[in-house]
Amino acid sequence: MSSVGEDCNELKQQYDACFNSWFSERFLKGQTDDSVCAPIFRVYQDCVKRAIREKKIDLREIDPIYDTNSDHEQTNSSTGNQQQKGKS
Amino acid sequence: MKIWTSEHIFNHPWETVTQAAWRKYPNPMTPSIIGTDVVERRVVNGVLHTHRLVQSKWYFPKWTHALIGTAKTCFASERSTVDPERKQMVLKTNNLTFCRNISVDEVLYYEPHPADASKTLLKQEATVTVFGVPLSHYMEDLLTSTISTNAGKGRQGLEWVIGLINTEVKGIARGTDELLHSTRRSIDEVTESARKSMDEISAQAAKAAKAMHIT
């Protein structure tokens, strides 16, 4: 499975591997602290965001609703939007 | 607008299915999905929120190309939540760059089967809207049947990944067994050689003692 950015593939694989083990070994067992994959996630994100910019993919084309669960409070989605705006 | 829904039961617990859902691609059944990237992810109140960019290639009959363009790489936006306490995984996909006049929205719900917690129920919904082109309803029918076929493939693909995960788990178990076995064997060997050398030492000592006695 490849990344949008060809040069991000290796980072993506490293991050996915970290996430998959975090998800099954920790998250599903109730440990929600996700700091273990944070460093690799940051590097991978930098790479992906750069590739998205270069390929001119507009993520804001779809509406920026963060929550997929309608019963979640609005505060979550508003912070999500702010973060997105801040990053882009 | 055309709405398509389906339900499917996986004979695997929710935890296995959700793990596999993250690893769903690549699988040989859905070669149309060529890439995924996480663009945002965090845990809010114990719920994992993820925004992924999904790259896919969709092929349509030639006669549609004039209307919606030829197959090319499409980008879809997938937003998901995983709530480990309520045991619910929801994935919503919107197509990003599928041409301006087509919109395909898909929602997947993974929950433990209400009657049997060792199984997982998948509910799937897709909404297809084609606007601003001639033969819109034909296009919607066509897309809906494509989605229906792809959904079947997606489920097979997920089963394939689950199989892979189960083999890995067995592999780890076997690996551990082998490790234990070889550790035990090497301990035995060490003990054996230690015993041997002890024997040798005592033999040497006995010899020496004998020699000492003789002298």
Judge whether A82 lies within some domain: no
Judge whether A84 lies within some domain: no
The string of DSSP letters for B173-199 reads: HHHHHHHHHHHHHHHHHHHHHHHHHHH
Across the interface, of A19, A20, A59, the residue whose CB is closest to B77 is A59
Number of cross-chain residue pairs from A and B with Cβ atoms under 8 Å apart: 104
Identify residues of B whose CB sits under 8 angstroms from chain A CBs.
15, 18-19, 22-23, 25-26, 33-49, 51, 53, 55, 75, 77, 79-85, 88, 90-92, 94, 96-97, 107
- Residue A76 reports pLDDT greater than 50: no
CB contact under 8 A, A69 and B83: yes
CB contact under 8 A, A20 and B19: yes
pLDDT value at residue A72: 37
Average pLDDT over residues A35-62: 87
Q: Which domains does chain B have, with CATH numbers?
A: 2-169 (3.30.530.20)
CA dist B24 and B36 (Å) reads: 10
pLDDT value at residue A35: 93
Judge whether A38 lies within some domain: yes
> CB under 8 Å, gap of 24 or more: what pairs does B71-77 form?
B73/B34, B74/B98, B75/A57, B76/B104, B77/A59, B77/A62, B77/B51, B77/B52, B77/B53
pLDDT value at residue A75: 38
Domain that holds residue A35: 1-59
Q: What percent of chain A has pLDDT over 70?
A: 66
CA dist B89 and B119 (Å) reads: 14
Cβ–Cβ < 8 Å for A4, A55:
yes
A45 contact residues in B (CB cutoff 8 A) = 38-39
pLDDT value at residue A83: 41
Greater pLDDT, A53 or B27 = A53
CA dist B81 and B37 (Å) reads: 16
Q: Of A2-16, A42-56, B72-86, B152-166, which range is least confident? A: B152-166
pLDDT value at residue B52: 92
- Residue A45 reports pLDDT greater than 90: yes
Beta strands of B18-115 (E only): which ranges?
33-44, 47-57, 73-83, 88-95, 102-113
Q: What is the pLDDT along chain B (215 residues), one digit of tens a residue?
A: 778 788 999 999 999 999 999 988 877 766 677 889 999 999 999 999 999 998 877 666 666 666 666 655 678 889 999 999 999 999 998 876 555 566 778 899 999 999 999 999 999 888 877 766 666 777 778 777 777 777 777 787 788 778 777 776 665 555 555 555 555 555 555 555 555 545 555 566 566 656 655 44
Cβ–Cβ < 8 Å for B107, B81:
no
Judge whether A12 lies within some domain: yes
Amino acid letter, B23? R
B43 contact residues in A (CB cutoff 8 A) = 27, 32-34
Minimal C-alpha gap between A50 and chain B (Å): 11
Judge whether A66 lies within some domain: no
CA dist A82 and A64 (Å) reads: 10
**Residue with the two structure tokens 């087509």:** B102
**Number of structural domains, chain A?**
1
Judge whether A70 lies within some domain: no
CB contact under 8 A, A4 and B81: no
Judge whether A51 lies within some domain: yes
CA dist B132 and B140 (Å) reads: 12
CA dist B92 and A46 (Å) reads: 24
Across the interface, of A3, A30, A62, the residue whose CB is closest to B84 is A30
Judge whether A86 lies within some domain: no
Asked casually if ipTM beats, i.e. exceeds, 0.85, the reply is no
